């Protein structure tokens, strides 16, 4: 059986160059009104806010954070700058993912283009509770039609194009391909499961080191063993190679909502 790496996440840190779409007409994307965006997304923002409110500062005094996924229709140019100007928020990466079909909210302008798929992008940011409060304050200004502060106008562009907002979760860390691989290994009697656990690459050394130590503690807490670790600054890569006992993997195959701290840790 090939030793495939598991728990693989996209390399964060550097926005990719937009790929050119062949045959894509130069039509503008029609977007919902601010009122419709509030109707669509207010409940999701509140869900994220409630999740942040449940976070507790740990015994070491480390401020809790969560990785946020901001999914847009179309790209938001220079959004990285707005993130870096938001205290307590750190840019993790940008992903261009599969196009999506149009709906009543987002579609290309023009009758002939109305049914054509739309480009979709994921912006990944690490946020503290205080930073989220600041973003929600900007969201409220935007929904009221007020002018956003200097340096934060890119949030206005994001809000108008925002399709989804959520926390980076277990399904992101454990895609179907990983779960299938684990199941296959267990069915063949493999008792130790190799895992490549990639961490979000953090800009501050102390934060990055603390996250890696936490992951290694979680691996050992599940009866696993850390085999190696790698830090490649040039490509913003930070990962731990480990083995986990099949007994600690099985609960996640039975139920993705299983309380397994390693796959719920925000640093992964």
pLDDT per residue over 172-224, tens digit each? Answer: 999 899 899 999 999 999 999 999 999 999 989 999 999 999 999 999 999 99
Q: For residue 54, what pLDDT is reported? A: 85
Give the predicted TM-score (pTM) of the model.
Answer: 0.82
Residue 108 near residue 116, CB atoms below 8 Å:
yes
CATH fold for the domain made of 174-264:
Alpha-Beta Plaits (3.30.70)
Region of residue 48 (phi > 0: left; psi between -120 and 50: alpha; otherwise: beta): alpha
pLDDT per residue over 138-148, tens digit each? Answer: 999 999 999 99
What does the H/E/C string look like for 136-190?
HHHHHHHHCCCCCCCCCHHHHHHHHHEEEEEECCHHHHCCHHHHHHHHHHHHCCC
Which residue positions in the chain have pLDDT lower than 50? 1-25, 59
């Amino acid at each position: 059986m090939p030793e495939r790496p598991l728990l693989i996440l996209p390399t964060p840190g550097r926005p990719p160059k937009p790929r050119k779409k062949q045959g894509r007409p130069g039509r503008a994307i029609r977007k919902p009104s601010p009122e419709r965006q509030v109707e669509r997304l207010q409940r999701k923002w509140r869900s994220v806010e409630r999740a942040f409110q449940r976070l507790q500062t740990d015994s070491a005094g480390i401020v809790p954070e969560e990785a946020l996924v901001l999914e847009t229709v179309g790209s938001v140019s220079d959004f990285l700058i707005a993130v870096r100007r938001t205290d307590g928020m750190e840019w993790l990466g940008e992903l261009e993912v599969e196009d999506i079909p149009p709906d009543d909210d987002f579609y290309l302008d023009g009758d002939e283009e109305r049914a054509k798929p739309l480009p979709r992008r994921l912006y990944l940011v690490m946020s503290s509770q205080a930073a989220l409060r600041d973003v929600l304050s900007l969201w409220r200004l935007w929904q009221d039609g007020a002018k956003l502060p200097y340096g934060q106008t890119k949030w206005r562009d994001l809000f108008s194009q925002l399709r989804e907002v959520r926390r980076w979760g277990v399904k992101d860390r454990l895609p179907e391909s990983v779960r299938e691989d684990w199941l296959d290994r267990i069915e063949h009697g493999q008792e130790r499961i190799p895992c490549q656990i990639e961490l979000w690459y953090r800009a501050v050394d102390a934060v990055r080191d603390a996250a890696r130590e936490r992951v290694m503690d979680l691996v050992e807490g599940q009866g696993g063993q850390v085999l190696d670790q790698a830090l490649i600054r040039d490509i913003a890569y930070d990962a731990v190679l480990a083995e986990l006992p099949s007994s600690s993997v099985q609960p996640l195959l039975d139920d993705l909502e299983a309380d397994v701290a390693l796959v719920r840790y925000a640093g992964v």
